[in-house]
Structure formats: C-alpha cells, structure tokens
Amino acid sequence: MTKEETSFERDDMQIDGHDTERLQVGKIPGGFCAEHLKVYYGKLFPYADMYRWLSYGNDGKHPACDHSYFARREISYTFENDIFMRYQSFNNASDMENSIRDKCPLKIDIGPVYSVEPSKRHAYAQSGNNVFVPVERELIFDIDMSDYDDVRYCCSGADVCLDCWPLMTVAIKVLDTALRDDFGFNHILWVYSGRRGVHCWVCDGRARRLSNEQRSSIADYFRVYKGGENNVKRVNLTGQVLHPFLARSYTNVLKGFFEEKLLTVQNLFAYEERSQKVLEIIPDESIASELHDRWQGNRRSSISKEDVNVVRWEQLKHVLQSGKQKGLRRCVEEIVFTYTYPRLDVEVSKHMNHLLKAPFCVHPKTGRVCVPIDPSDCDNFDPTTAPTLSELLEELNNSMRSESEEEWERTSLGKSIKFFRSSFLSPLLKSCKEEMENLYNSKAKQSKNALDW
C-alpha cells in the first residue's frame, strides 16, 4: 500500500487544539489492528440504521422532506495520536459508508446539523457572510465514571467494575424519568460509551431545535452536584422542601440505592478515612466530632464491616434527624445526593456545537462496542459483557451465514441492533413522519386560506 493510498486530505479546522494532518493507517491502541477494524466497518457497522436515524424522516419522498438535511450534518473522525478530521459531511448513506470504510477511523463523532454543508463551509465563508452556523442538534448528556472517583473505592480513573457501575444505572434512571415526565420527551437513546460512562441522546424534534440558552436551562435544572477539589460540601439543598424532581429522585432511586447497595459495597463507614469524608459534609463540627469519637470508641467491637456501615449510618441519621439541631435534617439527604446523584458534564449539554461519540463505534482502548442501553432494563446491563471487536470477529468466523441473514445477525451485536431498530428508531421515525405530515398540512391550509381571502 502506498503513502498516497493511506494518507488523507488535510483539513485546517481544529478540535480541542489539534490540527488535522496527513495520516497513515497503523496499529490501533487497545490490542487490535487496523485490519480488524476494517472488517468491522465492512461487515457489521449499521450504516443504514445510522443514516435513517440522522435523517429524521427527510430521506423519503414526502413533499415536506428536506433532502439537504443529512448532508448538513457534521461527522468527525479521530485517528491514532488524537488526530482529528472535523466537518465531514455526506449526501447519503452510501457516501458515508464509503468514506468510513476507506478511512477506517478509530472513533466517529456526531456533531450538529448546520445551515450549510460542513464540507463546503469554506465556499460560503468567501462570501463574507457568517452563514455557517448550527441550526439543530440532539440534546445530549455525557456522564463519566471517573467523575465519581471521590465516592467509589473499588476503581478509579477509566476502570469500572460491577461494584461501581450501578452509579451509571442510577444516573440513567434519574435522568430518563425526568426527561420523560418533567420535559415530555419520548425519543431518548442511552448508549454505553465503550469504557467508563454513558451518553444520552434526546432526539425529539423540539429537543433538536432548542437554543443554547434553552439547553443551558435544562442542564441547570439537573445540576445539583458541584465538583471542585476545594469544595468539601458539593451539594447544597436549599428551601423548606425539596423540588419535586429531587424529592422523586431521592425517594424512588437515590435513597434505596445508597442504603441497600453503595453503603456496604463501597464500605463507606468501615475505614477511618472514608467515614471522615462523610462527616466532613456535616456543617456542625461539634456533631461531626461527636459521631467520630463514638465510632473511634467502638473500633474494637466484633461487628462485621458490612454491619459497621449500616450501624454507623443509622447512628448518623438518628443524630441529624433528631430535631435537636436545627437545619441538619436536610444534611442526610445532602450526603445521599453527594454520593449518588448524576454527575453531568454540563458544558456538553449547554452548547449545540459539541461532538459526541456515535453509537456502535468501537472504543480504541477497550475494543468494546458502544451499544445502546435499555433504560427500562438498565439494572441488567453489564459493561463487562458488552461485545468486543475480537469477540465479534470470532463469532463471524465460527458461524455460517444464510442468504436471508445480515452479517451482524450472526454475532452478539445483533441483539443491540435489533433493540436500536425496534425500541428507538421505529417509534422515532413514526413520530417524525407524523410531525412532517402535520406541518405540511398546516402550511397547505394556511396557503389555501390566503388564496381564499
């Protein structure tokens, strides 16, 4: 293979401070080679489904279809050494497929729909008018397990296990319920990031058309946890009563998870430094000192670690909720929120022009596919069993294909693609068709009324 065949055209735009460069196809980090990824993109990646999703019904023959819609969507590629190619755009599914197969990116990110085709933005820039602006984008959320490192003790950084992963499950439950019940959104896609977190795509028409200000308002609605190393108390719940959203989240999800799982699994009170971290959240130093001294005096007791966690939590609750110290009853809820409430990267949600990794990508560090998660069954999602590239290729090699089968149906990826189609894509496209029909009829009626007048 010659250099000319393996290099890509330079794009002078930047992402995260990196210029794109001429590239060579090489070995991929994470233990698999470029040839494996080529097989995945050649046989398993669901191009047609991705195209239908990102077209939102505009790929049909209805007179209301905007056939430029998909072509105005930004697709970004990432290659080895964090080299990026931004502002890729394609006219149709075939163009997108040919490009991905040819360039074989380590990662694919999805950006907004712009006012003009991203790949032709330079031509419009020469006119002197600022016409290249984002006009649509899914409302997105990014939750990363590494942001929970101060409240999990089983793992840190990019590592996850079944002891800490339920924190992501709690985040899905809290946000999914609020997005549906409080904001009325219906078409929500949850996706495993492939390594240490989850992504959320809210795809309703009115979600895609939100302004940056409206996105910021929604992000602030969910913002309870405020990080920062110098911030000992990172959750402040103000007011006489909790906001209905917070009260529902606390009662239905957070309290039970904290007391029944996190408390004992992470041994929050079984070690001095861990229990001290909880006590630091209590604003009254005398109360915190009283509890600390009591626990220090009981260090030689024969209570098991699991029982120590439960006993000390009950003691803490009793002291704080006894009513003797005004203003401390809310502190129990603040502790629970500190340890369990979703920790969002709010900047990702606030601005329309943020990129987010595409579903069904292969994570270059783990080799795991970014598969959808069913929010109604998220308790049973196990990130350690998400399909890996090597497993999928082995399944392809060891199975026979019938003429009526797609390649992915022979692998463990089939379940994820079928879920994406049936539970997310089909209802979404049905809704898009209805919205398009209603808008078309409304405009036709207005036009008729104007003629009649």
What three-state secondary structure class fits 362? strand
Choosing from 142, 176, 204, 334, the catalytic residue is 142
Residues 281, 414: Cα–Cα separation, whole Å: 46
CB neighbours of residue 176 within 10 Å: 19
For tokens 């005004």, the residue is 326
Choosing from 74, 109, 138, 334, the catalytic residue is 74
Q: Is 74 a catalytic residue?
A: yes
**Residue 8 DSSP code:** -
Q: Is 142 a catalytic residue?
A: yes
Which residues does 348 contact at the CB level (< 8 Å), separation at least 6? 140, 141, 142, 354, 356
Q: What b/e sequence results for 135-165 when a residue is b if at least 16 CB atoms lie within 10 Å of its CB, and e otherwise?
A: ebbbbbbbbbbbbbeebbbebeeeebeeebb
**Which contacts qualify for 114-123: CB closer than 8 Å, 24 or more apart?**
114/72, 114/73, 114/74, 115/72, 116/72, 117/68, 117/71, 117/72, 117/89, 118/72, 118/73, 118/74, 118/86, 118/87, 118/88, 118/89, 119/87, 119/88, 119/89, 120/89, 121/87
Choosing from 117, 136, 144, 204, the catalytic residue is 144
Q: Is 259 a catalytic residue?
A: no
Residues serving a catalytic function are: 74, 142, 144
